[in-house]
Amino acid sequence: MVMKKILHVLLAMVIIAGGYLGIMAYEPSSYNFDEQTMTVAEAAGEKQASVAVMMGHLKHIAFSAHPAGSVANQNVRAYLIEQIEAMGYVVREEHFTNTDPEVIAAATPDGEPLPEQLNMTNLVVEVAGTNPLATTLVMAHYDSTKHGPGAGDDGISVASILEAMRVLKANGQPQNNFVFLFTDGEELKMLGAKDYVEKHPEMAETATFVLDFEARGTGGGMIMFRTSNGNNHLLHHYVAAVSTPMATSIGSSIFDLLPNGTDLTVFLNSNYEGAMDFLMLDGVENYHAPTDNYDNIDRNSAYQYTTTISELINYFAKINDVENIENENAVYFPIFRGMQIVMPESIAKVLAITAALLAVIAIVLLIVKKTFNKRQLLWGAIALVAIILCGAVIGFVTRIVVVNIIPVRLPLFAIYTVMLIIILLAVLGILRLFGKRLNFSGFAVWYLVLLAIATIILTFLLSGASYLPIFILLPLAGGIIIYTLIAEKYKQRTKKIVAIITAAIASILVVPVLYLIFMAILTPTLFIIGTLFAGSIAGYLSIYSLE
């Protein structure tokens, strides 16, 4: 009895710790920032990126809302030119206009008369290398929406690039070429990016790498969430370049669900290669709002943006390995903060097929060993359907409660955590309710079938997400095979061990991904998140709790 209680506590601790560590893999490290800012002149000669200098830039850039075409945006542009020229660079202004009434209305503050056209300007800085083997295009947009100052979107990126340019200059002329592009009109259907691509068709061949920096919030980790095709080699460059990599191949699939794009969308549509897109998601409630301001920028995120962008630029300044660009995509994800897994799709396919075969072997052994009867098999199917529906219903009800009943805005993390705890308890309740009618084996057959199908479908149709079912199915199916083959006296202990290992892996991988989906799309996804979470925990909870 004592050992059983200890195992209960251990399982709970594994689930909590796994989820926490998984989410922390997408969060920046703590940084002690004293709120003292510095100017470029004060930092002259410093060869390391300074968050104090970056935050000084951000104060000027995010002083007020500065939509494209506005006087406020002209002031931001003048500040950028002044700072860039003070570093010793030459800035080229590329002007363009737009007369679309819908675009003009989107940029014009409410109550002000609509101008006949919007006048916008991209800023371009070209840096020649001493012995160039690559050209890296680095970009961010300096306009905001008319609704907020745009400290996160995208002031923090612009300010961090400015500081990285200062460090680049302090370290002497780079080996490789750079083009720094500060676009205007990104908030108006990426107009600046479209103008640059149209005026410079040669850059599709010239640019070896493209780095776009964005934000959809005011905090959180700086996630590399999207790339151009054939990214396996590119991912290895990224991991080598930065001290705290945070990249997930499921990010592009999440981003595709969003109604908006980034400047990189334009470049990808124009067949640019070697491209990476970065953003942060925490504080998404501040996105395109008055609260997207200097004060609400998470200081840990500010430090990560400053250091990571400088690390990337310093790395690509001297990179030599530019010939071996592969056509194969990678599957990639972090498991702990700073620990990034990157594997070719071909390896992911081998693992997926292996996992599916192990599932088939496990099912056959459960049948051959006669570990369940027909009634238990039927109740296993009913219980699995009930668990998945339960997760969906709890997610749907949570959305209704949060949106329509609770009068105050709750923290997103609190909503997410409470919902997952309710689903966890509900799944345990369902398994206890059906406990006398089914056994572990009757339930496991259906769960293995479902997970094997999900593994194969995702691997070959949505490969970026394939790692989630692969690394849950491998230990689960392998553990069940061992369970069926060992002596009876070891079976219960084996079940508990398999459950705990699977719980750890599922928590580390699934919990943060569902949280990213929630932050990216908010309450409309709660029923999907509830369904997926219930499905992910059903396997190891059934192994643990059913006889």
Q: Mean of the pLDDT values across residues 68-81?
A: 97
Supply 241's token pair. Answer: 């370049």
Of 73-82, 112-121, 237-246, 252-261, the least confident: 252-261
More confident residue, 495 or 89: 89
Residue 1: predicted pLDDT: 56
**pLDDT surpasses 80 at 8:** no
pLDDT the model gives residue 32: 79
Please classify residue 505 by burial: count the beta carbons closer than 10 Å to its beta carbon, then call 0-12 exposed, 13-18 middle and 19+ buried: buried
Mean pLDDT lowest among 100-109, 193-202, 355-364, 535-544: 535-544
Which tens digits make up the pLDDT trace of 139-177?
A: 999 999 999 999 999 999 999 999 999 999 999 999 999
What does the alpha-carbon distance between residue 482 and residue 169 come to, in Å, rounded to a whole number?
60
Q: Give the integer Cα–Cα distance in Å for 382 and 434.
A: 9
Q: What is the mean pLDDT of residues 26-43?
A: 82
Quickly state the pLDDT bin for 37 (edges 50, 70, 90): confident
Span of 117-121, 188-192, 490-494, 513-517 with lowest mean pLDDT: 490-494
Note the pLDDT tens digit of each residue in 167-225: 999 999 999 999 999 999 999 999 999 999 999 999 999 999 999 999 999 999 999 99
Q: What is the pLDDT of residues 449-458, one digit of tens each?
A: 999 999 999 9
Q: How far apart are CA 140 and CA 155, in angstroms?
A: 9
Averaged pLDDT, 280-301 = 94
- Which residues have CB under 8 Å from 529's CB, separation 6+? 395, 416, 419, 514, 517, 518
Overall average pLDDT of the 105-109 stretch: 93
Residues 260, 269: Cα–Cα separation, whole Å: 14
Provide the pLDDT for residue 94: 98
Residue 474's identity, in one-letter code, is L
Band of the pLDDT at 41, cuts 50, 70, 90?
Answer: confident
Domain boundaries, the chain: 1-25+345-543, 42-336
Question: Can you list the positions of beta strands (E) in 27-101?
Answer: 92-98
Is 237 in contact with 317 (CB distance < 8 Å)? Answer: no
User: Average pLDDT of 349-354?
Assistant: 97
Q: Supply φ then ψ for residue 110, to 5 degrees.
A: -55, 135
Q: Which CATH superfamily is domain 42-336 in?
A: Zn peptidases (3.40.630.10)
Q: How confident is the model at residue 544 (pLDDT cuts 50, 70, 90)?
A: confident
> pLDDT tens-digit profile of 250-286?
987 777 766 678 999 999 999 999 999 999 999 998 9
Q: What is the mean pLDDT of residues 454-466?
A: 93
Per-residue pLDDT at 85 exceeds 90: yes
Instruction: List beta partners, residue 197.
Output: none
The mean of the pLDDT values for the chain is 91
Residue with more model confidence, 18 or 409: 18
Q: What's the pLDDT at 312?
A: 98
